């Protein structure tokens, strides 16, 4: 761990490129997919990526700021975006309202819009929103009271490596995360944890080991589902750390290794994030087969036979 490298919000922001242009009245993406639910049944899941004001945190690995605005949206914009997407999506049982930040940040999602959002999603079984553990507050329970679907909250645990977690500039301790999970469980709100595979400052085998430890920690605190995200380039800061030798993205076999481990725990659902998965392999012989295997394992939550190929040794 480089003691001389002082990672601050200012430093992270100074490495950024430009944002994408997003529209206050349009979600920047939306789609429907399938996912195994907490009860074991496969559910159709509509995900809407809402356009709104940038998150107030600046985590070292985050590139979600790219699709955010500098100014807050107006009251009414978010319900308009939700409706716009729902009118174009097939029917689904679960809805994810992901806002590149924190749902209970009033600069992102105006409180006065909660009622309209709740009304629009009343036919879903479950709604999943994102939040930083420190932004779980009375608004969380206010929103829950308005909902017909059950509420689930996705929070970034990132890593339980103490030195790396601090360097990620998330401004959160493991105690903060655990406290938030306990409070949410006490209100019958289930949680899912985002876990980074191989964040900066870890080599491949450390990256795998700490991702496994992070999954264990999450389940031990009462999280019901873990999503393993391979850390990737793209936000400027990681490119800079890459040049200094402090970051290199994981290889696909590390993701396979961690997913196998997480599913074998049988402590809750464990999913591998397959977004841009081609970034983590340069073997055209096995990539599609590996992707297919990971997708099937996400779907059914059991371990399939490994894909043999001489390109990558497992760590
Ligand atoms: S809290 Fe989440 S959205 Fe905000 S900077 Fe960190 S990772 Fe990104
Ligand atoms: Zn291969």
Instruction: Please report the domains of the chain, with CATH numbers, ordered by start residue.
Output: 24-300 (3.20.20.70)
List of E strands, 138-248: 150-158, 190-197, 225-230
**pLDDT, tens only, 195-236:** 999 999 999 999 999 999 999 999 999 999 999 999 999 999
Ligand 1 and 64: CB distance under 6 A: yes
- Cα distance between residue 38 and residue 125, in whole Å: 12
Pocket test residue of 132, 153, 165, 176 for ligand 1, highest count of atoms within 8 A of CB = 132
297's CB contacts (< 8 A; 6+ apart) are: 259, 260, 263, 272, 303, 304
Query: Look-up: residue for tokens 């009622």?
Result: 115
- Written as tens digits, the pLDDT of the chain (315 aa) is 666 778 999 999 999 999 999 999 999 999 999 998 878 889 999 999 999 999 999 999 999 999 999 999 999 999 999 999 999 999 999 999 999 999 999 999 999 999 999 999 999 999 999 999 999 999 999 999 999 999 999 999 999 998 999 999 999 999 999 999 999 999 999 999 999 999 999 999 999 999 999 999 999 999 999 999 999 999 999 999 999 999 999 999 999 999 999 999 999 999 999 999 999 998 999 999 999 999 999 999 999 999 999 886 655
Give the list of residues 6+ apart from residue 77 with CB closer than 8 angstroms, or none.
24, 25, 52, 113
Closest CA to ligand 1's atom 3: 101
Nearest Cα to Cα of residue 165 among 235, 130, 213: 213
**Closest ligand to 256 CA?**
2
Nearest CA to ligand 1 atom 7: 62
CA of 233 to the centre of ligand 1 (A): 15
Q: How many residues does the chain have?
A: 315
Q: Is the CB of 53 under 6 A from ligand 1?
A: no
Closest listed residue to residue 97, CA positions, set 55, 153, 44, 59 = 153
d(CA 78, CA 98): 11
The predicted structure's pLDDT at residue 314: 58
How many whole angstroms separate alpha carbon 57 and alpha carbon 105? 11
pLDDT digits (tens, 9 = 90+) for 288-314: 999 999 999 999 999 999 999 988 665
Q: Which atom of ligand 1 is nearest to the CA of 56?
A: 4
Give the pTM.
Answer: 0.96
């Amino acid at each position: 761990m480089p003691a001389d490298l002082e990672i601050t919000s200012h430093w992270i922001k100074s490495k950024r490129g430009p944002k994408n242009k997003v529209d206050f009245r349009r979600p920047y993406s939306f789609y429907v997919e399938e996912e195994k639910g907490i009860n074991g049944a496969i559910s159709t899941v509509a995900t809407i990526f809402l356009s709104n004001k940038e998150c107030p945190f600046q985590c070292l690995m985050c590139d979600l700021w790219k699709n955010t605005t500098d100014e807050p949206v107006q009251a009414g914009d978010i319900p308009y975006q939700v409706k716009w997407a729902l009118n174009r999506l097939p029917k689904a049982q679960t809805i994810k309202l992901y806002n590149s930040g924190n749902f209970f940040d009033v600069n992102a999602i105006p409180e006065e819009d909660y009622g309209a959002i709740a009304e629009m999603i009343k036919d879903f079984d479950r709604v999943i929103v994102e939040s930083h553990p420190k932004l779980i507050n009375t608004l969380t329970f206010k929103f829950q009271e308005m909902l017909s679907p059950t509420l689930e909250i996705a929070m970034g645990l990132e890593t339980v490596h103490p030195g790396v977690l601090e360097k990620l500039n998330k401004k959160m301790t493991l105690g903060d995360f655990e406290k938030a999970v306990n409070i949410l469980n006490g209100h019958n709100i289930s949680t899912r944890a985002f876990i980074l595979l191989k964040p900066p400052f870890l080599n491949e085998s450390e990256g795998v080991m700490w991702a496994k430890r992070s999954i264990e920690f999450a389940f031990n605190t009462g999280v019901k589902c873990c999503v393993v995200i391979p850390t990737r380039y793209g936000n400027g800061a990681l490119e800079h750390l890459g040049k200094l030798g402090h970051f290199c993205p994981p290889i696909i076999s590390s993701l396979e290794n961690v997913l196998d481990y997480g599913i074998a725990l049988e402590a809750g659902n464990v999913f591998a994030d397959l977004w841009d998965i081609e970034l983590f392999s340069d073997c055209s012989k096995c990539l599609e087969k590996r992707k297919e295997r990971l997708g099937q394992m996400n779907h059914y939550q059991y371990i399939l036979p490994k894909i043999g190929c001489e390109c990558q040794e497992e760590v």
